[in-house]
Chains A and B, each alone.
Chain A
């Protein structure tokens, strides 16, 4: 008798519990809407009292820019490992300038004080604001960097900074929604052109996506001219002007360049990763004194703490995914390993530009084949473009912004029609979404993020992928390029912890430890005999963002 009774009780309890939780979210979703009008009311009142308008005036932004000393940040937090950034464009890129150094020097505290005074602030009536940062996403040093910046700003005597940290997922939500007045971010390039370091932050169209909300018609006009100019001399001049306006108007403040480290064992040659941030496995080789981790000179093992997100070139939008896609495939354009020098990839030569920069015509190399033996034709590029549009993968926006249509007049000719003329289409054509997908693996009906094999037109083909354990590449038998792999097989081994990754390369369980080893582990490994720790000047920027439309809620 007692059994059905307890069961009934449990069923009742369950019902109550379910009801309770079912009602709970309804309540939480209602609260903000209820609260919203009231906060609006208060902000209206306060804006009526104080002067209306955004928090950040140009003078205040300049005052902040002038008070920050990058040399001190780099010295105190990174012991000189990082490089101060005085412009948004990486120094290794074409048309890079250092406008913040020209305008503010390494630091101009007096200018900063003067600007704050002019804005009506004093030691008795300081300028108070929140500075947001993510505590872990950019490494554990972020908190130290923010502390130094706080001290530097407060040294003016007229600023009080409240540091606020939030975990990445919440942080992104917060600044995209415009809740943060001043916050820190990192940037990593999509393609090797200055435009990719300026337009996302300073154009009226794109800056809201990055939480900047900056819009200046003068800047927009300059950015468009620079992007569409094809003559290098014109572009040089325009990017000089953009830099000057950028330092004057301060949409964002560049802080420093964060290097990456790659560690490899004795007897490995060909490790070359430059500004293009491409790691070409095919140029790696073992010398006679090497002791390969696999026990065979035909196989090299590379360790990483990255994970595969998607190996579908029409979808993938993450560094490690692009690395695998670019090693198993070839984009239309390519880089000389270790440099930002663009060279033809699958294309036989540089494209022919016509229609005032609106049409790019590529002629493909003859005899290219996918790793399963299927010949590559120009039609495959049309297919990749149509598939990208049909499936709306993560990377689709990067291509759709610039490309209007793709056509293949014959088997070896691919024609790209652009939305507007851009001077950097060759660099864009070197990115992963310009690697043709193999139609046998990647069908039109769905994204295939985890294909069983990856038979692209690159030097390698992927033969297996055990998620979280290892991914195996072997030489593509149909590859005809002169740079055919020196080491036939590559195993990518996945790690969860940088310390273990470091231990593994020290022990010789792997040959190369790649992203992301971290500065502490790299410093430790650099003192060990038989290991080479190479600093990769990857163009990875840390910068501060002003939310230009932020209105101070003085009720808080």
Chain B
């Protein structure tokens, strides 16, 4: 690792800290400026104001706002996160420990589907430019890009779940298998492989197909169009013409030389889409009753569960920062001309 790359990395990692800090600070104050509070959101008028106030006192909601902010920062810095304010006041670390793996187990395959399908179809489309298959793929990319994600999910549920009865449509694993399933990491794929529970692995993978396909397909359109456009540019460039003159096969020219050179914009797009993936996960998780971070976040915003929302967004912000960092490093690996 060159010393300049090291310096770059150190700076970027250090910059992540203020970025996340600003993010969670904003969320902290926005949540508190919003009308409503966790006690009334949960219990409505069922408890007297006197009892509601006692509950607020216990949760520390009556402290001055800067004291609450100080406590919150302390919790964040020690990675303790504190307790949620609603739904049984469980430790947030425990709750995120359940939800984060679920979201990752859904979004990583979704990203793989989006990238593989998007680049594959995009490249194929570029190679067959202006042929019917090109028009077909382009039409598909626009269609899949514009269809609302929950609608796509419901269509899949009805076709593959209800009508054809091929795939499960809710949850992460068969309920019967889940009753005896021991989960240490909450990544059900990893857990079932580690415990060599093949029935559980099969069930997990089957449950993953519809949600990850829904989420993945919704992002595919962007990648198809991006790859296609960049490939067409690339195919026209001098070095490809030179390669062709030297007798390199067309397939090699397209899929090896052109495609590799379009990776920079695609990598940038992957980084950007990762953030969008989170937004998509909220809808997909709701549609498929997937117990992940997105569904958790929506539920807790409605309940004004300040600590849970802050911590969840903090974790999201951290992930987006890390992803953009990884993307920057990948640039250098993909394109030797880039130096830091």
Contact = CB atoms under 8 A, between A and B. Distances in A.
Contact of B36 (A14, A172, A396, A507): A172
Nearest to A468: B291
A168 B41 CA distance: 7
B228 interface: no
Point out which of A176, A294, A299, A468 has the most chain B C-beta atoms below 10 A from its C-beta.
A468
Point out which of B66, B88, B165, B302 has the most chain A C-beta atoms below 10 A from its C-beta.
B88
Contacts of B26: 21
A188 to B, nearest CB: 9
A495 B285 CA distance: 10
Main secondary structure on B side of the interface with A: helix
B179 A472 contact: yes
Nearest to A401: B48
A301 B42 CA distance: 27
A71 interface: no
Nearest to A492: B175
B14 interface: yes
B175 A7 contact: no
A36 interface: no
B286 interface: yes
A470 B175 contact: yes
Contacts of A24: 29
B262 interface: no
Contacts of B7: 3
A231 interface: no
B299 interface: yes
Contacts of B258: none
Contacts of A28: 33
A495 B291 CA distance: 9
B43 A500 contact: no
B154 interface: yes
Contact of B46 (A13, A296, A317): A317
A176 B49 contact: yes
B175 A491 contact: yes
B334 interface: no
Contacts of A469: 171-172, 178, 291
B195 interface: no
A507 B169 contact: yes
A485 B18 CA distance: 57
Contact of A495 (B47, B48, B154, B289): B289
A124 interface: no
Interface in A169-226: 169-170, 172-176, 185, 206, 208-211
A195 to B, nearest CB: 15
Contacts of B154: 499, 503
A208 B46 CA distance: 11
Contacts, number: 183
Contact of B90 (A14, A449, A472, A509): A449
A206 B42 CA distance: 19
Contacts of B54: 392
A449 B35 contact: no
Contact of A467 (B36, B43, B66, B98): B98
Nearest to B25: A21
Interface string A411-447: 0000000000000000000000000000000000001
A493 B175 contact: yes
A295 interface: yes
Interface stretch (B111-119, B129-137, B156-164, B268-276): B156-164
A25 interface: yes
Contacts of B58: 392
Given A11-B18, A169-B35, A497 B287 contact: yes
B157 A172 contact: no
Contacts of A303: 170
A47 interface: no
Contacts of A210: 45
B67 interface: no
B87 A309 contact: yes
B170 to A, nearest CB: 5
A22 interface: yes
Interface string A495-534: 1110111011011010000000000000000000000000
Interface string B1-41: 00000010011001100100110011001001111110011
B286 A496 contact: yes
Given A6-B11, A469-B291, A309 B86 contact: yes
B179 A301 contact: no
Contact of B88 (A18, A301, A450): A450
B304 interface: yes
B191 interface: no
Given A392-B58, A507-B169, A170 B35 contact: yes
A496 B88 CA distance: 18
Contacts of B142: none
B18 A294 contact: no
Given A307-B299, A500-B170, A506 B162 contact: yes
Point out which of A11, A491, A503 has the most chain B C-beta atoms below 10 A from its C-beta.
A503
B250 interface: no
Contacts of A309: 42, 86-88
Point out which of A172, A173, A296, A489 has the most chain B C-beta atoms below 10 A from its C-beta.
A172
A503 B304 contact: no
Contact of B157 (A7, A22, A447, A500): A500
Contact of B47 (A6, A296, A397): A397
B176 A503 contact: no
Interface in A208-249: 208-211
A210 B304 CA distance: 20
A543 to B, nearest CB: 12
A123 B204 CA distance: 67
B44 interface: yes
Interface in B53-92: 54-55, 58, 65-66, 69, 86-90
Contacts of A449: 87-90
26 contacts: A11-B18, A17-B25, A25-B65, A169-B35, A169-B304, A170-B36, A173-B40, A175-B45, A185-B45, A303-B170, A394-B42, A394-B43, A464-B179, A466-B98, A467-B90, A469-B178, A470-B178, A494-B291, A496-B287, A497-B289, A500-B288, A501-B289, A503-B170, A504-B170, A507-B169, A509-B170
Would you list the 9 A-B pairs with minimal beta carbon distance, nearest first? A169-B36, A449-B88, A468-B291, A170-B35, A172-B40, A169-B41, A14-B18, A495-B289, A496-B286
Given A173-B36, A495-B289, 19 more contacts: A6-B11, A14-B21, A18-B22, A21-B29, A25-B65, A170-B34, A208-B49, A209-B47, A301-B175, A307-B87, A309-B86, A394-B42, A394-B43, A394-B55, A447-B89, A449-B90, A464-B179, A494-B291, A495-B170
Interface of A: 3, 6-7, 10-11, 13-14, 17-18, 21-22, 24-25, 28-29, 167-170, 172-176, 185, 206, 208-211, 294-296, 299, 301, 303, 307-311, 317, 392, 394, 396-397, 447, 449-450, 463-464, 466-470, 472, 489, 491, 493-497, 499-501, 503-504, 506-507, 509
